[in-house]
Copies of this chain bind each other. A is one copy, B any other.
Amino acid sequence: MARTRSVPPPADIQGPHIRVTLKDVAQLAGVSAMTVSRVLNAPENLSAATVAKVRAAIESTGYVPNSAAKALRSSRSRLIAAVLPTLTGPIFLDTIGALTAGLARRGYQLMVGQSGYSSAGEDQLITDIISRRPDGIVLTGVVHTDEGRRRLLASGIPIVETWDLTPEPLDVLVGFSHEAVGREVSRFLVGRGRKKLALIGADDVRSKRRWSSFAKSARALGVGQPVARFVTAPAMLGDGRETLRALLAEHPDTDAIFCSSDALALGVLIEARAQGIDVPGRLAVVGFGDLNFSAQLDPALTTVRVDGPRIGELAAHCIVSRALGQPLETRIFDVGFTIVQRASA
């Protein structure tokens, strides 16, 4: 009995599919298929007796409706597609979790696609998504190629973009202004007497947008052009340590650092401690994301908090409204952000 012998599926699994249909239930209950359908979708004007009969038949057969047939007939798939760069990385997680839950509560399911980093893969993904005829698409943290955006738009499927307040949304948008984040953090630091600002960021678009307004605002406030260092995404703790070392070597008078993620900020805090640099005394540190450990660090991390779950819940609301053709209160939902002031700055 070699362990490596091939293993067939269990005998009780006949095939990938459920065989009970409306017709089977109807036959068992002694009614027409249509009546069974009505029991499921509009039981109000059926006799109590037939409803009971049919319910019993459904129960005993274990019938579950086939949503492919439903979708084909009604052109409503009750499926929403979510596109994000990658599932790895904690930033969008809360949003996707809340989105999934919000959709489930409204009777919709979520299909996920990772656009990844190749645009060939992205093209395939778009085709796969369109072929499913989802009732809506939620884009999260994705900047598509123009061609991709064109195809998505041409499909006629409602689209909600999230996490970004771009100047020209495709349709609905749920997010916050990264420009405002950069500006406010710069004001915050300068307001607390910092003079030599720096930024350590990941090389993604959103981080870059925060950087430009951070820099612009710093100049406007008269503390000169900040220094910036970018690391390739996903930015991790180790990058923070390393980058701080390099940055301080070149700019030892830096007195404030804005990190584009709390993970980077944690690395900065650890490296600062290793070098005996006083935080916030000599160096102020501000993170981004308010991850669950940030309040517990020593010193506790001052950071920018964004309500990820709220974005997901709002996105669920918006995309379902669009799917049903219902009007929306507004096109742009700005969920804002807050600077959570703790000990590190």
Contacts and interface: CB of A to CB of B under 8 A. Distances in A.
A241 interface: yes
Contact of A131 (B15, B64, B154, B330): B64
A340 interface: no
A17 interface: yes
Interface in A126-140: 127-128, 130-133, 135-136
A12 B93 CA distance: 32
A30 interface: no
Contacts of A10: 171
Nearest to A71: B68
A209 interface: no
Given A16-B158, A238-B295, 13 more contacts: A13-B156, A13-B158, A13-B171, A17-B157, A18-B155, A66-B72, A66-B133, A68-B77, A100-B112, A109-B132, A236-B296, A237-B296, A263-B293
Interface of A: 3-4, 6-10, 12-19, 62, 64-69, 71-72, 75-77, 79, 86-90, 93-94, 96-97, 100-101, 104, 109-114, 116, 121, 124-125, 127-128, 130-133, 135-136, 151, 153-158, 171, 236-238, 241, 263, 266-267, 270, 273-274, 292-293, 295-298, 322-323, 325, 327-331
